[in-house]
Amino acid sequence: MAENDDELEELGISTSLTRRQLVRRGLGGFLIAYAGALPKVAAAGVPKYVHKHYKNTLKIIQWSHFVPAYDVWFDKTYTKNWGAKHDTDVQVDHIALAQLPARAQAEVAAQSGHDIFGHLSPQAGLEDQVINHKEIIQEVTRKVGKVSQVGFKSCYNPKTRKWHGFPENYVPDPIHFRKDLWNQVGIKPSTWDDVRRAAPKLKALGHPVGLGMSNELDSNMLLIALMQCYGAFIQNAQARPTINSKNTIEALKVMRDIYKRGMTNEVFAWTAASNNQGYLSGRLALAVNAISIIRSAEDANPALAKNTSVAPIPRGAVQRLGLEHVMGVYTIWKFSKQKALATRFIADLEIHYQGAFKNSKFYNFPAFRGAVHNYATQLAADPHKGKYKVLDLIARKYTANLGYPGFSNAAIDEIFNTWLVPQMFAQVAQGKMTPAEGAKAAENEFKPIFAKWRARGKI
Amino acid sequence: MWSTLRERGVSYLIVGPFAIVLAFPFYWMLVTAFKTNGDLYNLNNVPFTYHPSQAAVGEKLSFQHDHWLPFGFENATTSHISFIFSDTNYLRWVENTAVVGGLVVVITLLLAVPAGYSLARLSGRWGQSVGVGIFLTYLVPPTLLFLPLSRVISKLGLQDRLWSLVLVYPSFTIPFATWLLMGFFRTIPAELEDAALIDGCSRLKALARVILPISIPGILTVVIFSFSLSVNEFVYAITFISGTKQHTISAGVPTDLIRGDVYFWQSLMAATLIPSILLALLYNSFLNRFIAGFTGGAFR
Amino acid sequence: MAAVAEARPQTRRFRDLLEDRRFLAPALITPAALFIVLLVGAPLVLAVYLSMTDATAGQLTGKFIWFHNFTEAWHNDNFRRALRNTIVFTLASQAIVLVGAGILAHALVRPFRGRWFLRLLILLPWAAPVAVSTIGFLWIFDSQFSVVNWTLVHDLMPGGGHFYLYRPVNWVLGGIDHLPWVHVGKIDHLNPPQWLGQPTLAMLAIIFVQAWRILPFATVIFIAGLSSIPTEVHDAAKVDGATGLRKFWHVTLPLQLPIATVALLFGIVFTATDMTVVYILTSGGPFNSTHMLTTWAYQTGIVSNNLGEGAAISLYLLPVLLVVSVLMLLFARRVEVS
């Protein structure tokens, strides 16, 4: 039939509806129907006049929360209620995690955009573009008490004495492990040495541990936390790079050992979703990740969730200390025309954080500890048999800020965003460098970065 | 007859493998879109067929009792596909993409047809240089242009509105369109126009009455390319527009279907397949037209 | 009477103006040129300015530091690797596209049964919005769930027999290993290749995806070019006795050369300045080994807040592309004239 169609078409003769004509007419009709909508759709911008009866407008942008229900609660319930009380139309936009930096910079370049920008990590680099968030901090402190150390050291710049962001929440970073498999090898992952010993045994069972060393968020957090457990830090309290130390070399050796005997080279290709997916498939025996893994398992594979335990990060030679998985930081641009209103919104959100805590399924912990009461009771009341109680312990004792023991600053920001730590670990693990060389190479990379930002007066 | 059979065989032998390699990912997307989470994340399962698994929260196994379905399809679910229609603004995104594409095509044609004609026929020496100049604008990567452009867009009050894309996209479709049309116009023998001019037409009329009808294939090519360039664009779509109702497909899909470290693979696959098939059908039907068009017209 | 006589010379003068090449030519180009100058030229000037300042984080002003950013960038290993990668990536993918599209276009101009459907399949990669189709490839090349790896490593024969695809593939790879300068190794069926995790494989994956999505585009251009060869040329060739390969070499190819050059040129430019595929597939990893200049510029300028440096890096492309473009345009013009 196709050949006939061609010949007929070329001759311009066709008495019946060829298949092609049918498709073309169908598409044509489709297009014409839409053409009617053309002017309307193109002219549609952000609906400015929908809530004309509200005096003010407040625009917020933040990431799409991995718990879709949180976004539904935030967009449709919380902000609408708050808006009604303050005669404000609150508009919430969402953006993918990866696009946050581009969008932020575009708004700075354009000098217009959203009043409140929700980042997922402290943005020391944007310090000059945002207001000093001191007032909000003071307001919230008055009502619920002091900000946690994690919040303080993430969002305050001691050099310029400026709060370059408001720490709204942070997400504790536990480990997930398969009770049944670890029982089989007779070890519990309470120290990194335990993990080191168990790794080859678990690999032999076909269920390796899942510790990523790739250019993505999970690897970044895990490896910096590992270093901390061994007393190795990117910088000291005076913001001088201290990456080249005995402890770093020790941490590198540990990770190299775990890799060589317990993992395959897939861990260099992982995305942020890979350890989630690997764990959910039942294959991985250990993952270091926020509770997104176990929450997904509860939905999709309850048997797996039952076999999963949540615990703090393993202890290293020096201490047990992890990092926040992500930190929700709200910033208000200098060019915003609704600074007072935005300040009010953020303060109210934090003061009444109970709603956010609950609706995020305990993913979001408030940076002001006093904003939520009875952590233990609430976590224990979760229908999954009190598994989440340990999150409180992790949030209180075992979570440090990025840049510990110093403050999160622009240099730490840059090192974090360009994956320099996973790169160092990966090259050592693959045998491309010895641990000593790796630490030295990292130091050579970090020093100019620190120097650059120091020269700009930010450190 | 033997030679046509051989010719046809050769055609299949060449086109077949290409078609398989090019279309296989889409076949794969189609299969994946119907998988349940338990089936998808199970490393022991054959990826091309469907396997029983526990239905996750929100998954409906609508074919559960139809055991006659091939490939184990009774274990498939349409919930992830319906998710994009019920829980995201997917239809709005498709609409937005179509509208932006259409308007960009119109603007491109309006500006590029005269420019191409001018460069092909009227410009002589300096026309070449201007042509080269226009082309050189392609050498600037948009990876950083979007920042100064953000400022322009906000000054014009177009931030977060689709008009911002309609304004910016022609900046990369026009150079290409001009070039293409220049090439097409050049292949049309000048005698045709001269004949029209001798008959008393003005240049512009000659352009409209004589050249344009013959260049329909070229114009259709420009339409297809401009539309596809505009649909494919990603960086500007993400940075200029933040409201989910105003997103295009390229911006909306990564924003709503990738949440932190959770990828909704099945929905992502379905979201990719739908516009791809529609657009491929569209382009394919245009292709026919301009190939057929050339056997008619001025050359018979 | 006199008034009418007055009016007519004026309108005639305007119409004459419209006929005058020297007026008409620039008039027709101006709208397009203006559009481009405003929307590309102005931001480009701003980007050049930024590249010579120490601007950070989106602010469009900074302290003037002349060419410091350019030298700074050059001293970074990652930058040099990005430059190398850009060249390899562009040339390799475009070579595949050129050859593939050329062959495919020839096979598609002649009608045959099922051509419409096969053409539909071939158009799919280009019809798909690149951002979302590349996300699809993320899953196809996933480190654990890659369907490519599954197909290579598992028994593909339903029922009793056994057929493992990796065995014949390893046989071919073993053969390639015998060549002097090439070493590829074999596929370990217990630890299949990490398409996005090993530097070489990641480059191959990126090149493949880019060629995959540009091939239909180039094919369409070639088909258009082939169709535009007037039938008189075909007839004349037949009269002269040129058929098959001779006709291809002496008639079809030369006529196609201008349009092939344009297709190649645009392919090169689009590939060298595009960051979507690399950004989504590998973000420059593993270990920054697959960065292109565009993604490295993005990483430096946007993600790391060093805007001035990022602008400088993205401008490095300009002279390279300039040279390439001018050369190809000259070549196209010479071919056309002949």
What's the distance, CA B200 to chain centroid? 41
Alpha-carbon distance A105 to A100, whole Å? 9
**Interface mutation target, options B262, B266, B284, chain A, most CBs of A under 10 Å:** B262
Q: Which of A298, A321, A300 is nearest to A308 (CA)?
A: A298
Alpha-carbon distance B89 to C304, whole Å? 32
Cβ atoms within 10 A of the Cβ of A57, count? 17
**For residue range C20-36, what is the model confidence (pLDDT) as tens digits?**
666 777 778 888 888 88
Q: Which range has highest mean pLDDT (A258-262, C116-120, C255-259)?
A: A258-262
Inform me whether the C-beta atom of residue C226 falls under 8 Å from chain B C-beta atoms: no
What average pLDDT does the segment B98-120 reach?
Answer: 90
| Closest residue to C113, CB basis, from A3, A214, A274 | A3
- Selected from 3.20.20.70, 3.30.1600.10, 3.40.50.620, 3.40.190.10, the CATH number assigned to the domain covering A175-323+409-455 reads 3.40.190.10
Give the largest CA-CA distance in chain A: 86
* A contact chains, 3+ CB pairs < 8 A: B, C
Interface size between A and B, measured as CB pairs under 8 A: 160
Residue with tokens 């962001």: A165
Q: Give phi and psi for A309, each to the nearest 5.
A: -110, 150
Residues B258 and B137 in one domain: yes
Sequence-distant (≥ 6) Cβ neighbours of residue B96 within 8 angstroms:
A41, B162, B246, B247, B248, B249
Residues in chain A with CB shorter than 8 Å from the CB of C306 are 414, 452
Q: Are A439 and A248 in contact (CB under 8 A)?
A: yes
Residue with tokens 């040329």: C233
Percent of chain C with pLDDT over 70: 84
Nearest CA in chain A to B96: A41
What average pLDDT does the segment B147-164 reach?
Answer: 85
In angstroms, what is the C-alpha Rg of chain A?
Answer: 26
Inform me whether the C-beta atom of residue C109 falls under 8 Å from chain A C-beta atoms: no
Length of chain C: 338
CATH of the domain at B216: 1.10.3720.10
Residues in chain B with CB shorter than 8 Å from the CB of C269 are 138-139
Q: Do C304 and A418 touch (CB under 8 A)?
A: yes
Q: Report pLDDT for C274.
A: 84
| Domain boundary pick from B56, B84, B112 | B84
Alpha-carbon distance B108 to A296, whole Å? 47
Q: Report pLDDT for C240.
A: 76
Query: Among A451-455, B18-22, B129-133, whose mean pLDDT is lowest?
Result: B129-133
Percent of chain B with pLDDT over 70: 91
Alpha-carbon distance C214 to B265, whole Å? 24
**Is C311's pLDDT higher than 50?**
yes
Alpha-carbon distance C161 to A306, whole Å? 39
Q: Do A300 and B37 touch (CB under 8 A)?
A: yes
**A167 by DSSP, 3-state: which?**
strand
Alpha-carbon distance B215 to B297, whole Å? 10
Q: Report pLDDT for A61.
A: 94
Whether residue C122 lies inside any domain: the answer is yes
What average pLDDT does the segment B216-221 reach?
Answer: 80
Whether residue C66 lies inside any domain: the answer is no
Residue A57 forms beta bridges with which residues?
A89
Q: Report pLDDT for C67.
A: 84
Q: Which of B280, A24, B217, B232 is nearest to C118 (CA)?
A: B280
Q: Which domain holds residue C225?
A: 77-143+194-337
Q: What is the DSSP letter of C164?
A: B
Q: Report pLDDT for C11.
A: 60
Residues B139 and B288 in one domain: yes
Task: Determine the distance in angstroms separating the CA of B234 from the nearest CA of chain C, rounded to an integer.
Answer: 7
Inform me whether the C-beta atom of residue A68 falls under 8 Å from chain B C-beta atoms: yes
Residues in chain C with CB shorter than 8 Å from the CB of A106 are 58
What's the distance, CA B240 to chain centroid? 20
Residues B251 and B272 in one domain: yes
| Domain boundary pick from B21, B55, B84 | B84
Residues B54 and B202 in one domain: no
Q: Do B254 and C135 touch (CB under 8 A)?
A: yes
User: In chain A, where does the domain assigned CATH 3.40.190.10 lie?
Assistant: 56-171+325-395, 175-323+409-455
Confidence of residue A4 (pLDDT cuts 50, 70, 90): very low
Q: Report pLDDT for A312.
A: 94
Q: Which domain holds residue B70?
A: 2-84
**Is C71's pLDDT higher than 50?**
yes
Omega before residue C193 within 30° of 0, cis: no
Nearest CA in chain C to A130: C57
Q: What is the average pLDDT score of chain C?
A: 81
Inform me whether the C-beta atom of residue C103 falls under 8 Å from chain A C-beta atoms: no
**For residue range C105-119, what is the model confidence (pLDDT) as tens digits?**
888 887 888 888 999
Alpha-carbon distance A5 to A377, whole Å? 73
Alpha-carbon distance A243 to B71, whole Å? 55
Whether residue C327 lies inside any domain: the answer is yes
Task: Kindly compute the dihedral angle of the four CA atoms of residues C128, C130, C135, C139, in this order, to the nearest 10 degrees.
Answer: 60
Confidence of residue B300 (pLDDT cuts 50, 70, 90): very low
Inform me whether the C-beta atom of residue A64 falls under 8 Å from chain B C-beta atoms: yes
Query: Among A401-415, B231-245, C147-161, C292-306, whose mean pLDDT is lowest?
Result: C147-161
Q: Report pLDDT for B90.
A: 92
**For residue range A349-376, what is the model confidence (pLDDT) as tens digits?**
999 999 999 999 999 999 999 999 989 8
* C contact chains, 3+ CB pairs < 8 A: A, B
Q: Which of B129, B109, B106 is nearest to B119 (CA)?
A: B129
Residues B61 and B48 in one domain: yes
Q: Both tokens of residue C111?
A: 């009608």
**Is B101's pLDDT higher than 90?**
yes
**In this structure, are strands A209-210 and A286-288 parallel, antiparallel, or unpaired?**
parallel
What average pLDDT does the segment A267-290 reach?
Answer: 89
Residues in chain A with CB shorter than 8 Å from the CB of B99 are 34, 37-38, 41-42
Q: What is the average pLDDT score of chain B?
A: 82
Residues B16 and B103 in one domain: no
Q: Does A177 or C78 have the greater pLDDT score? A: A177
Q: Report pLDDT for A42.
A: 45
C253-258: which pairs have CB atoms within 8 A and are 24 or more residues apart?
C254/C335, C254/C338, C255/C225, C255/C229, C256/C222, C256/C225, C256/C226, C256/C229, C257/C332, C257/C335, C258/B183, C258/C332, C258/C335, C258/C336
What pTM was computed for the model?
Answer: 0.85
Residues in chain C with CB shorter than 8 Å from the CB of A215 are 283-288
What's the distance, CA A124 to chain centroid? 16
Q: Report pLDDT for B292.
A: 54
| Domain boundary pick from B84, B110, B130 | B84
Residues B14 and B68 in one domain: yes
**Is B45's pLDDT higher than 90?**
no
CATH number 3.40.190.10 is the correct assignment for the domain at A56-171+325-395: yes
Task: Determine the distance in angstroms separating the CA of C143 from the nearest CA of chain A, rounded to an integer.
Answer: 6
Residues B60 and B196 in one domain: no
Residues 74-113 of C with CB under 8 A from B: 100, 103-104, 107-110, 112-113
Q: Are C40 and B140 in contact (CB under 8 A)?
A: yes
**Is B225's pLDDT higher than 90?**
no
Inform me whether the C-beta atom of residue A34 falls under 8 Å from chain B C-beta atoms: yes
Q: Report pLDDT for C230.
A: 66
Q: Give phi and psi for A242, each to the nearest 5.
A: -125, 30
Q: What is the 3-state secondary structure (H, E, C) of A69-130?
A: HHHHHHHHHHHHHHHHHCCEEEEEEEECHHHHHHHHHHHHHHCCCCCEEEECCCCHHHHHHE
Residues in chain C with CB shorter than 8 Å from the CB of B295 are 231
Q: Which of A217, A224, A110, A157 is nearest to A407 (CA)?
A: A157
Kindly give the residue spans of alpha helices, DSSP state H, lying in chain B: 2-33, 37-40, 79-86, 90-117, 124-136, 142-155, 162-168, 170-187, 190-198, 203-206, 212-214, 216-232, 235-240, 249-257, 265-295
Q: Which of A165, A168, A320 is nearest to A230 (CA)?
A: A320
Residues B108 and B212 in one domain: yes
Q: Report pLDDT for C7.
A: 52
Q: C43: burial class by Cβ within 10 Å (0-12, 13-18, 19+)?
A: buried
**Is A439's pLDDT higher than 70?**
yes
C-alpha separations of B75 from B25, B64, B83, B266, C97 in Å: 22, 6, 18, 14, 40
Task: Determine the distance in angstroms separating the CA of B146 from the nearest CA of chain A, rounded to an integer.
Answer: 7
What average pLDDT does the segment B6-14 reach?
Answer: 79
Alpha-carbon distance A200 to A223, whole Å? 20
What average pLDDT does the segment A192-210 reach?
Answer: 94
**Is A54's pLDDT higher than 50?**
yes
**Is B267's pLDDT higher than 50?**
yes
What is the crossing angle of helices C21-36 and B124-136, to 10°?
A: 10
**Is A9's pLDDT higher than 50?**
no
**Is A438's pLDDT higher than 90?**
yes
Q: Report pLDDT for A80.
A: 93
Q: Do C286 and A214 touch (CB under 8 A)?
A: yes
Q: Both tokens of residue C18?
A: 């419209």
Q: Do A46 and B246 touch (CB under 8 A)?
A: yes
C-alpha separations of B104 from A111, A415, B157, B237, C42 in Å: 27, 41, 19, 14, 21
What average pLDDT does the segment C139-155 reach?
Answer: 86
What average pLDDT does the segment A266-271 reach?
Answer: 86
The number of distinct structural domains making up chain C is 1
**For residue range A62-93, what is the model confidence (pLDDT) as tens digits?**
988 888 889 999 999 999 999 999 999 999 99
Residues in chain C with CB shorter than 8 Å from the CB of B232 are 129-131, 276
Task: Determine the distance in angstroms separating the CA of C179 from the nearest CA of chain B, rounded to an integer.
Answer: 27
Q: Are B200 and C15 in contact (CB under 8 A)?
A: no
Strand ranges for A278-398 from DSSP E: 286-288, 308-311, 322-323, 327-332, 365-366
Alpha-carbon distance A126 to C236, whole Å? 69
The number of distinct structural domains making up chain B is 2
Inform me whether the C-beta atom of residue A190 falls under 8 Å from chain B C-beta atoms: no
Q: Give phi and psi for B62, each to the nearest 5.
A: -80, -15
Q: C213: burial class by Cβ within 10 Å (0-12, 13-18, 19+)?
A: buried
**Is B124's pLDDT higher than 70?**
no
Confidence of residue C57 (pLDDT cuts 50, 70, 90): confident
Q: Which range has highest mean pLDDT (A239-253, B5-19, B279-293, C238-252)?
A: A239-253
CATH of the domain at C111: 1.10.3720.10
Q: Report pLDDT for A446.
A: 94
**Is C319's pLDDT higher than 60?**
yes
Q: Report pLDDT for A247.
A: 95
Q: Which of A151, A129, A153, A128 is nearest to A140 (CA)?
A: A151
Residues B146 and B258 in one domain: yes
Q: Does B268 or B152 have the greater pLDDT score? A: B268
Q: Are A403 and A409 in contact (CB under 8 A)?
A: yes
Q: Do C302 and A101 touch (CB under 8 A)?
A: yes
Sequence-distant (≥ 6) Cβ neighbours of residue A53 within 8 angstroms:
none
